């Protein structure tokens, strides 16, 4: 079958963010746009010829078309075999597991994670390396530099490409094996968790669960694991069918975008346990009846109780959290006498720590939690961890969290998002904050004295690389924190994220409303950054 060499002009907007290249669907549909980026990836991968790659995505609009293009390009570039999820479907953590299990050279994941889908929505692509984790900055920067000078791409001439029937077919000399997207991953979960114990919990008359797949990739995973293997009733899974536009919803598992789930949990007749996952299956939200678990608390509770879970009974090497994530897990790590690392936002920063066997668990405040079982955050894994803990503890979600607070204290924590703001104004806001840093230490605001003010930088303890400019930190003497950063996951304008945290050890003060407990710090943040002036917003678009 002949190979075409298509001459093109490079694009100037293909710099990967924290999770690969994300743009609007319409941008990806620009002639040769996807092809240019895929060829840039292939040009930067050593030993590509004769290799095995994993390929799949979250099923969003343009997923199938993109897969057909990538398969034809993989064949033209000498790839020997591609493991493809049936129907083009694979969750991000499942891709990571498959890369590791089958010793693939790497994998291409098609997803814009929690961003909206559909013809007017977003699309994304990223490359994961042989460890199963996201490509490090050295590789993503090389891909970007390649994209700026690329002049041609290689592709096989058009042929019909089936994706929906298990089995093998060829595209030129490329062997494509269509695999069950769920089976390998589900089998792996059974080695980590006590499925019989979880089954007994789900079959008990005094416990019920509700999982919101958000019409995204985890629907098939939830059906196979929760319903088929753990005997949860069919009613335990809502929005189970993956749809190209996620049913018109926003596949971000938080209180705003999972409104129906929240309404069901916050009712007298609601289930005991609720959870949701996002577009590509790597994020999670955990709920109890009338109770929300912050992702920061979830990470801390997982680490504190890991010794109870079969897959982690041999101990914990260390933990890591992203810098904006609350310091709740730090106190657990101190009590357990294990290392705790603070990294920039972006799962790739955990990769070196995991591969160097420095940590067992890691997590981000943005609803992402994971461990060394794969090299991505993992939504279904986190839900299973919580179910296993509840089956062991025989208590409610709220009781488990309050037990943790009584032992370690409570970190009141919130994130205020200002979405789609003018990028120039957002950068001006951050520059204004940067200009204030030198004079902030020692100043008092509402009785709180600033102990440290800086722009966070990270020195990787494994490879010695330094990452600068990762967010403005204002840390007070009582360990309260205000953090400002611009998100790298959106595609329209800029998103300003403001993270606010306050620690209270006294159990008698653990019942405060979160926003009320943080009201003084919220006011300080608004004054310091002059948020309304720069954003034109008098309140956040999303509060989590």
- Tens of pLDDT, residue by residue over 160-204, are 889 999 999 999 999 999 999 999 999 999 999 999 999 999 999
Summarised one tens digit per residue, pLDDT across range 418-429 is 998 999 999 999
DSSP 227: I
pLDDT of residue 169: 94
Architecture of the CATH domain 410-543: 2-Layer Sandwich (3.30)
On the question of pLDDT at 63 being above 90, the answer is: yes
For the record, the structure tokens of 500 come out as: 């606010």
Residue 33 contacts by C-beta under 8 Å, 6 or more apart in sequence?
A: 11, 27
pLDDT of residue 492: 64
Architecture of the CATH domain 3-181: 3-Layer(aba) Sandwich (3.40)
Nearest C-alpha neighbor of 295 from the set 311, 284, 279, 281? 284
CB 209 within 8 A of CB 275: yes
What percentage of the chain exceeds 70 in pLDDT? 99
Where exactly are the structural domains of the chain? 3-181, 185-408, 410-543
From the CB of residue 210, how many other CB atoms can be counted at a distance below 10 Å?
21
- Residue 488: pLDDT band with limits 50, 70, 90: low
CB 277 within 8 A of CB 253: yes
| Residue tagged 């008098």 (tokens) | 538
Burial 390-400 (b: 16+ CB within 10 A, else e): bbeeeebbbeb
pLDDT of residue 355: 95
> Average pLDDT of 422-449?
94
d(CA 387, CA 368): 17
Of 66-75, 423-432, 485-494, the poorest mean pLDDT is in 485-494
pLDDT of residue 489: 55
Summarised one tens digit per residue, pLDDT across range 206-238 is 999 999 999 999 999 999 999 999 999 999 999
pLDDT of residue 256: 87
Summarised one tens digit per residue, pLDDT across range 303-315 is 999 999 999 999 9
| Residue ranges with strand state E in 290-358 | 291-293, 319-322, 340-343
Domains 3-181 and 185-408 share a fold: yes
> Average pLDDT of 430-441?
95
pLDDT of residue 490: 52
- Three-state DSSP at 455 gives strand
In the chain, count H helices and then E strands: 18, 27
d(CA 260, CA 256): 9
For the record, the structure tokens of 264 come out as: 């069901």
CATH number of 185-408: 3.40.120.10
> Average pLDDT of 305-330?
97
Residue 263 contacts by C-beta under 8 Å, 6 or more apart in sequence?
A: none
Q: For the purposes of burial, counting CB atoms within 10 Å of the CB of 24, is it exposed (0-12), middle (13-18) or buried (19 or more)?
A: middle
Centroid of chain to Cα 541: 20
How high is the mean pLDDT of the chain? 95
From the CB of residue 52, how many other CB atoms can be counted at a distance below 10 Å?
20
d(CA 188, CA 194): 12
> Average pLDDT of 509-531?
95
pLDDT of residue 18: 75
> 444-445 and 448-455 as β-strands: parallel, antiparallel, unpaired?
antiparallel
Residues taking part in catalysis: 113
pLDDT of residue 158: 76
> Average pLDDT of 255-268?
95
């Amino acid at each position: 079958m002949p190979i075409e060499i298509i001459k093109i002009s490079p694009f100037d907007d293909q710099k990967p963010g924290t999770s690969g290249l994300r743009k609007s669907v319409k941008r990806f549909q620009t002639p040769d746009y996807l092809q240019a980026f895929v060829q840039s990836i292939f040009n930067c991968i050593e030993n590509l010829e004769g290799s095995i790659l994993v390929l799949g995505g979250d099923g969003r609009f343009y997923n199938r078309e993109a897969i057909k293009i990538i398969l034809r390009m993989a064949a033209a570039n000498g790839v020997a075999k591609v493991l493809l999820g049936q129907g083009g479907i694979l969750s991000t953590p499942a891709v990571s597991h498959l890369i590791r299990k089958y010793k693939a050279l790497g994998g291409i994941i098609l997803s814009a994670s929690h961003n909206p889908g559909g013809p007017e929505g977003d699309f994304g692509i990223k490359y994961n390396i042989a460890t199963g984790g996201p490509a490090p900055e050295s590789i993503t920067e090389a891909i970007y530099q390649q994209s700026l000078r690329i002049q041609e791409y290689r592709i096989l001439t058009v042929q019909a490409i089936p994706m929906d029937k298990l089995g093998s077919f060829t595209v030129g000399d490329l062997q494509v094996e269509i695999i069950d997207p769920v089976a390998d991953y589900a089998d792996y979960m059974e080695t980590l968790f006590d499925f019989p114990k979880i089954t007994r919990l789900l079959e008990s008359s005094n416990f019920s669960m509700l999982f919101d797949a958000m019409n995204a990739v985890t629907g098939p995973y939830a059906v196979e694991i929760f319903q088929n293997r753990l005997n949860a009733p069919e009613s335990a899974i809502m929005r189970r069918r993956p749809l190209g536009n996620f049913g018109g919803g926003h596949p971000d598992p938080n209180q705003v975008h999972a409104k129906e789930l929240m309404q069901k949990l916050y009712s007298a007749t609601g289930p005991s346990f609720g959870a949701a996952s996002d577009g590509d299956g790597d994020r999670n939200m955990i709920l109890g009846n009338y109770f929300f678990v912050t992702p920061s608390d979830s990470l801390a509770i997982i680490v504190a109780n890991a010794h109870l879970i079969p897959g982690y009974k041999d101990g914990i090497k260390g933990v890591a959290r992203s810098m904006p994530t609350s310091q709740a897990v730090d106190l657990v790590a101190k009590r357990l006498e294990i290392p705790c690392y603070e990294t920039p936002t972006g799962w790739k920063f955990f990769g070196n720590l995991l591969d160097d066997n420095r940590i067992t668990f890691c997590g981000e405040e943005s609803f992402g939690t994971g461990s060394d079982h794969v090299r991505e955050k993992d939504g279904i894994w986190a839900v299973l961890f919580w179910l296993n803990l509840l089956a062991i503890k025989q208590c409610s979600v709220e009781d488990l969290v309050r037990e943790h607070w009584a032992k370690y204290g409570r970190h009141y924590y919130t994130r205020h998002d200002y979405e789609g703001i003018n990028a120039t104004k957002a950068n001006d806001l951050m520059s204004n904050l940067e200009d204030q840093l030198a004079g902030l230490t020692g100043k008092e605001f509402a009785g709180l004295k600033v102990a440290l003010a800086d722009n966070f930088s990270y020195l990787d303890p494994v490879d010695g690389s330094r990452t600068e400019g990762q967010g403005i930190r204002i840390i007070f003497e009582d360990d309260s924190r205000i953090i400002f950063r611009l998100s790298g996951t959106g595609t329209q304008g800029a998103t300003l994220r403001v993270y606010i945290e306050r620690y209270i050890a006294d159990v008698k003060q653990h019942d405060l409303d979160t926003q009320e407990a943080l009201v003084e710090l919220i006011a300080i943040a608004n004054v310091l950054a002059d948020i309304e002036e720069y954003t034109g917003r008098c309140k956040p678009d999303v509060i989590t």
